[in-house]
Amino acid sequence: MAKAIMKKLLAAAGAMTMMIVPGNASLPAATANSADNAPDSYHDDWLHVNENAEIVDMYGNPVWMTGCNWFGYNVTTQCFDGVWSRNMHEMLNEMADHGFNLMRVPMSTQILLQWKNHDPDPYMVKINEWKNPELTVEGIEGGKPKYSFDIWNQAVEWCRENGIKIMIDIHCATTASNGHQYPLWYDSNYSYDDWLEALNWVADYYKDDDTIIAIDLKNEPHGKNDGQGMAKWDDSKDDNNWKYAAERGANAVLSANPNLLVMVEGIEVYPKFEEGEDWDSQPVDYARYPWSPFYGAWWGGNFRGARKYPVNLGKYQSQLVYSPHDYGPLVWEQDWFKKDFTRETLLDDYWRDSWAYLIEEKISPLLMGEWGGFIDKEHDPTGDNTKWMTILRDYMIEKRIHHTFWCFNENSGDTGGLLTNDFQKWDEDKYALVKPALWQDENGKFISLDHQVPMGKSGNGISLSDYYKGSSGPKVEPTTPTTEPTTTTEAPKTILYGDANCSGDVKMNDAVLIMQAVANPDLYDVGGTAESALTPDGYKNADCYDPGSSLTSKDALSVQKALIGTITLPETE
């Protein structure tokens, strides 16, 4: 596709995507694009989940989010760890040049509300002012550090320049190095409502910047009814029901920005229910009941409840992604490691029933929010940790599981990180293990999640548009039809305006299909070669803005406006 045409399509889609801000919020003049303007680089990269449980861009092209975690904003450094010894910009450049297209950033409810309320930093921001003059008030070596929120927004800008997208992770309620030890999404300092307020604020603040592309609602809900609090998963509205809390948290996010991906993690345990039992009937006297009444899992890794009680986001369902965590035997010698384990034994003993069924049965895409660990040759002569990492890596490649490696930091006590030597050098052995699971084309070029910005500064990265229009792509190619398209001879069907895919209801997938048909008619318009192309009836349904006119991005916008309740379909001029 010619560059000029691609720019026009990006601009049209960018304008359509940004306009679905709910409520009466006014839009900056710079975002009011038309097909003749330059593309709006702040609104063209939002992602959605399609009917095949794939995460896709605005044209329906599948993407693969392959990133890493960098913590620090969840603890009292109030900045990325390691900036105490190195330049932040330099490290972000290196992350991009090494091919990580998504950065998961642990934060706390406390720091988000601090920023929302413009409260002063309660702790000294820990940076090396001599090596980070850009992060000082004076802008000189040795100057006073900027406010933590200003430093964060500088990091967002540098990520944008590098093609790195960001997922904010609510790691804990109170800022603390051990904050993740608390089992629930609230504690004695910050309430359930505080958590919802923080989620809503951060989603709203960045609703016009698709650098922030996803939010992980809460890191590792856990607990096993031992008096410390327990996250459960059922159909109740109890305060500790994570399924219900996730639905509320997602609504807080998506009511502010309906384009964000929302990550919902699992819990720790799920009861072995028997007839007439519920969560409260499980025995907790382990001296009397030495057998476990629960199916166990890593914190955040148990999705057994999602089979019977799936998370329901209603009109926002296309933004839901389940996000398990998984670790190896050097973190804890789980029962499934106490044998000569293989992929098959891991699936049979733990993975499949805990989380893998979601991707194998195409119920939902998965993003492995945390995985990683030490390379055994330095820590364990048996090699089981490296063996586990390799098995999981290869499974994620095969199943196209999105992931964020734990972690970029070297100062994670039970896993280590990608950097070593006080953040000065890369652990080349560990990076070599991770690298095959980073999104690359057949020429080894790292692929950005940004349609316009290539991955990194080294020249070994490409943009998403480059991938899908260049010689190294596309992976969704037009093919020559084997037969001429035919029209139905059945009696005309009742028009359900907005239902482009003829599923019987109107969802975000319909808006995505309309944009696909507008952007790539050879594939997705009536007679197109894609399996999901519009049918003649689907075209009539899709023509929901000024029915009888040609199909345009305005029809997709009308669908989205109907989904957030601002209009009813059809929409007329």
The residues annotated with a catalytic role in the active site are: 220, 370
Cβ neighbors of 357 (< 8 A, separation 6 or more) are 307, 363
Output b/e per residue, 371-384; b: 16+ Cβ within 10 A: bbbbbbeeebeeeb
Judge whether 263 and 167 are in contact, CB under 8 Å: yes
Instruction: Report d(CA 81, CA 76) in Å as an integer.
Output: 10
Instruction: Report d(CA 121, CA 150) in Å as an integer.
Output: 11
DSSP assignment letter at 286: T
Residue 549 vs residues 290, 500, 501, 512, 541: alpha-carbon distances, Å: 70, 15, 19, 19, 12
Which two tokens mark 408?
Answer: 């970029």
The DSSP string of 299-368 is: TT-B-HHHHHS----GGGGGGEEE--B---TTT---GGGSSS--HHHHIIIIIIIIIIHHHHTTS--BEE
CB atoms near residue 13 (< 10 Å): 27
Instruction: Report d(CA 80, CA 291) in Å as an integer.
Output: 43
Torsion of CA 499, 501, 507, 510, to 10 degrees: -90
DSSP assignment letter at 440: B
Torsion of CA 451, 453, 455, 461, to 10 degrees: 80
- Give yes or no for a cis peptide into 407 (omega within 30° of 0): yes
- Reported as half-sphere exposure (CB side, CA atoms, 13 A), residue 302 has a value of 25
The DSSP string of 167-184 is: EEEEEESS--TTGGGS-S
Instruction: Report d(CA 268, CA 286) in Å as an integer.
Output: 17
CB atoms near residue 531 (< 10 Å): 7
